[in-house]
Amino acid sequence: MQIPEASNFIQEIIVNDLTTGKRTEVHTRFPPEPNGYLHIGHAKSICLNFGTALKFGGKTNLRFDDTNPTKEDVEYVDSIREDVHWLGFDWEDREYYASDYYEQTYEFAEKLIQLGKAYVCELQGDDVSTYRGTLTEAGKPSPWRDRPIEENLDLFRRMRAGEFEEGRYFLRAKIDMAHPNMNMRDPAMYRIKKATHHRTGDKWCIYPMYDFAHPLGDWIEGITHSICTLEFEAHRPLYDWFLIALGLDNRPQQIEFARLNLTYTMMSKRRLLELVQNKVVMGWSDPRMPTVSGLRRRGYSPSSIREFADRIGISKADSMVDINLLYFCIREELNASAQRAMAVLDPIKVVIDNWQDGREDMIEVENNPENPAQGSRRISFGKEIYIDAEDFMENPPKKYFRLHPEGEVRLKGAYFIKCVNVLKDAAGKITEVHCTYDPASRGGESPDGRKVKGTIQWVSVAHAVDAEVRLFDNLFTLENPAAVPEGQNWMDFVNPNSLVKKQAKLEPMLGEATLADRYQFMRLGYFCLDSEDSKPGNLVFNRTVELKDSWGKSQAKV
C-alpha cells in the first residue's frame, strides 16, 4: 500500500514510522472506562482512533478499561458499543477488556518483583504523599522499599489470596523517589479492593492501577500508536518505563492530543452523572446533553458529528471550540436534505370571512427548495387556519411585516390575507383574528404587482395534527461551566430555559413522521421525532437546531 500523506501531527509520526520501517502496520485502540455514557469528546477520540487506522489500512480495537471495579456498569458497556457503531465504526471481533488481562498483568507484576523493580509497601494514607515529596522537594524512600524480593513475592501472593484488608498493603514500582516527574516516584501498581467486578466477579481482590494496566493492555494487543489526551503526557515516561523494565519489544508509542472542550457544555462524566442523578435532565440521552445518545436523540446524524470532528482537527494545545461550529455542521447537512414542513408553535386561530363555508383548496408546496428532486406536496387550505401568535400584532411597531390590522401578509404557498377584526376573551386575550383573502393571489403570487413583504406559515384547523414540540437551548449559561467563578456552584449555571415545551399544531403530513425523518419547520428550525417519548397519538418533536438566520433574515428568503 502506498503510504498516504499526513494531515496532522499524529499522522506525521505514523508516516515516519511506516517510512523508516519502524512499523509495518497501524493498530490503534479506543479505551473507554465504562463508568458513564460517551460524549462528544469521546466521539472526537473515536473518530481519531478509528479514522487514523482506516486511513493507513490498519485496525482499531475497542477496549473497555474496566480496572476500577466499583464505578462500572454493564449498562455503560452496552451504551458504548451502541454509540461507537452508530458513529459508523467497527471493531469487528476485537472487543477487549482490561480485565481480560488480569492474569497476565498479575504475572508481569510478579516479574517486576523478581527483577527487584517492585515492592510491597505499608505506608498508609497521608504518609504515602508525605514520602512522595512535592514538585520542589524530592521524596524520601519508603521504609519498605528494600524489602527482600522473596518477602515481596510472598506478601503480593497473599494480597491476591485475600489475606489482608483494603489499604493494608499496596504494590508499587521501584523507580526513583527524587525523580523530577512525580509520576515516577515509586507509583502504585496494585491495590487491595474487596469489590465485585462486573466481569470477573469475586475472582480478584487486588486490582491494577490504570498506569500499569494500560501500557500492558496496549502491548498485549499489539497496539502500535496509543493515542490519548494531554493529561497523560506526564505519564508517558512511566508508560515506557513499565514496558522497558519488563524487557518487552515492539513497544507501543503513546501520543497525546488536546481534548475537546465545547462552549456552554460540560464534558466531565462525573458531572454529567450528577445532572442525571439530580434529575436536572431527563437522563443520559436528554437531547441537551453532550452525550452521543443525547445528540442522537436530538436528531444529529453520525456523519455530521464525523464532519465536526474533522473540522476541529487535532492539536497539542488545549482550547475551547465554539458550540456554534457543531450547530453549523448539523445544519449544513440538514439544509441539503431535510423535507420542509409547516408548524405553528403558539397557535392563534384565523378565520377567513370571505371564504365560502366548507370549501377546501389543495395548495401545492415544494418539499425542499434546495433540492427540486424531493418534489412537492399538496396541503388542504380552508376557512380556518392557525398562525403563530408571534406573527400577529394588534399594535405593531413600524416595519412590522407580519399580520396586523392595517397590513397584508402572504400565507406560504396559499393566499394574501388582510386582518379585518380581532376577537378577545374577557381577559383581553386574542381568541380569533378575522381576515379576508384575495382570491386573485392564489399560490401566494401577487395579482397586480403589489408588494407583500411578510410570508408566514399556517396550518389548517380542520387537518392540524397536535404535537408537543421541544425547543432546546445550551445547557449552561456560562461559556465555560467547567471554570465557575470562585465560591459559586456549577449547578447554578444550568440554563433554566434550556428546555421549552410547546403544544403545537402541525401540517397533516407530520402525523406520519417516522424516527428516521428530518424536517425543516418553516422559519423555526430542524426537527425530528423524539425517539423515547413520542408515541402514536402523542407525538413529540425535538428541535435539532435552529435555522441559521434570525427571523428577520429568513423572512426575506421564504
C-alpha span between 60 and 300 (Å, rounded): 24
Element (H, E) at 551: helix 551-557
Q: Which is nearer to ligand ATP, 65 or 388 (CB)?
A: 65
Edge-to-edge, what's the strand order for the sheet holding 519-521?
A: 339-341, 519-521, 525-529, 540-545, 465-472, 499-506, 343-344
Site for Mg ion in 20-49 (CB under 5 A): 33
Q: Which is nearer to ligand ATP, 273 or 499 (CB)?
A: 273
Q: Which is nearer to ligand ATP, 268 or 480 (CB)?
A: 268
C-alpha span between 549 and 73 (Å, rounded): 43
Q: Total number of residues binding ligand ATP (CB under 6 A)?
A: 15
Answer for which of 33, 82, 366, 384 binds ligand ATP (CB under 6 A) is 33
C-alpha dihedral sign at 130, 132, 135, 136: positive
Site for ligand ATP in 449-478 (CB under 6 A): none
Site for ligand ATP in 65-84 (CB under 6 A): 65
Binding-site string for Mg ion from residue 418 to residue 437, where x marks contact by CB under 5 A and - marks none: --------------------
Q: Provide DSSP, 387-439.
A: EEGGGB-SSPPTT--SB-TT-EEEETTS-EEEEEEEEE-TTS-EEEEEEEE-G
* From ligand ATP, Mg ion, none, interface partner of 481 (C-beta below 5 to 8 A by class): none
Q: Let me know the angle formed at the C-alpha of 529 by 523 and 531, rounded to the nearest 5 degrees.
A: 150
| Nearest distance from C-beta of residue 18 to ligand ATP, angstroms | 23
* From Mg ion, ligand ATP, none, interface partner of 25 (C-beta below 5 to 8 A by class): none
3-state SS of 485-535?
A: CCCCCHHHHECCCCEEEEEEEECHHHHHCCCCCCEEECCCEEEEECCCCCE
C-alpha span between 410 and 455 (Å, rounded): 5
Annotated active-site residue in 44, 63, 251, 269: 269
Q: Provide DSSP, 5-20.
A: PP-SHHHHHHHHHHHH
| Nearest distance from C-beta of residue 522 to ligand ATP, angstroms | 36
* From ligand ATP, Mg ion, none, interface partner of 259 (C-beta below 5 to 8 A by class): ligand ATP
- Contact call for residue 531 and ligand ATP (CB under 6 A): no
Annotated active-site residue in 259, 271, 442, 548: 259
Q: Which is nearer to Mg ion, 111 or 191 (CB)?
A: 191
Give, to the nearest 10 degrees, the angle between helix 102-114 and helix 236-245: 70
- Contact call for residue 269 and ligand ATP (CB under 6 A): yes
Stretch that binds ligand ATP, among 27-35, 163-171, 389-397, 545-553 (CB under 6 A): 27-35
- Contact call for residue 509 and ligand ATP (CB under 6 A): no
Answer for which of 23, 31, 58, 108 binds ligand ATP (CB under 6 A) is 31
Annotated active-site residue in 33, 110, 122, 366: 33
Q: Which is nearer to Mg ion, 211 or 408 (CB)?
A: 211
Tell me 461's DSSP state. G
Site for ligand ATP in 249-268 (CB under 6 A): 259-260, 267-268
Distances (CA, A) of 172 to 116, 152, 187, 216, 338: 11, 10, 5, 16, 58
- Contact call for residue 290 and ligand ATP (CB under 6 A): no
Q: Which is nearer to ligand ATP, 32 or 302 (CB)?
A: 32
Cell matching residue 206: 487486588
| Nearest distance from C-beta of residue 129 to ligand ATP, angstroms | 22
Q: Which is nearer to ligand ATP, 64 or 458 (CB)?
A: 64
Distances (CA, A) of 26 to 12, 43, 223, 429, 452: 13, 20, 8, 68, 62
Burial of 465 (0-12, 13-18, 19+ CB in 10 A): middle
Question: Which residue, judged by CB position, is nearest to ligand ATP in the bound state?
Answer: 41
Q: Is-contact 252 224, C-beta < 8 A?
A: yes
Q: Provide DSSP, 195-264.
A: --BTTTBTS-SEEE-HHHHHHHHHHHTT-SEEEEEGGGGGGHHHHHHHHHHTT-SS--EEEEEPPP-BTT
Q: Which is nearer to ligand ATP, 229 or 380 (CB)?
A: 229
The partner residues of 455 in beta bridges, in order of sequence, read 410
Binding-site string for Mg ion from residue 105 to residue 144, where x marks contact by CB under 5 A and - marks none: ----------------------------------------
Q: Which is nearer to Mg ion, 273 or 461 (CB)?
A: 273
Active site residue 269: yes
How far, rounded to the nearest angstrom, does the alpha carbon of residue 66 sit from its chain's CA centroid? 22
Tell me the CA end-to-end span of the chain in Å, nearest whole number.
51
* From ligand ATP, Mg ion, none, interface partner of 44 (C-beta below 5 to 8 A by class): ligand ATP
CB count within 10 Å of CB 358 equals: 7
Stretch that binds ligand ATP, among 39-47, 141-149, 494-502, 541-549 (CB under 6 A): 39-47
| Nearest distance from C-beta of residue 230 to ligand ATP, angstroms | 9
Binding-site string for ligand ATP from residue 198 to residue 237, where x marks contact by CB under 6 A and - marks none: ------------------------------xx--------
Active site residue 259: yes
Where does this chain bind ligand ATP (CB under 6 A)? 31-33, 41-42, 44-45, 65, 228-229, 259-260, 267-269
Q: Which residues are tagged catalytic?
A: 33, 259, 269
Where does this chain bind Mg ion (CB under 5 A)? 33
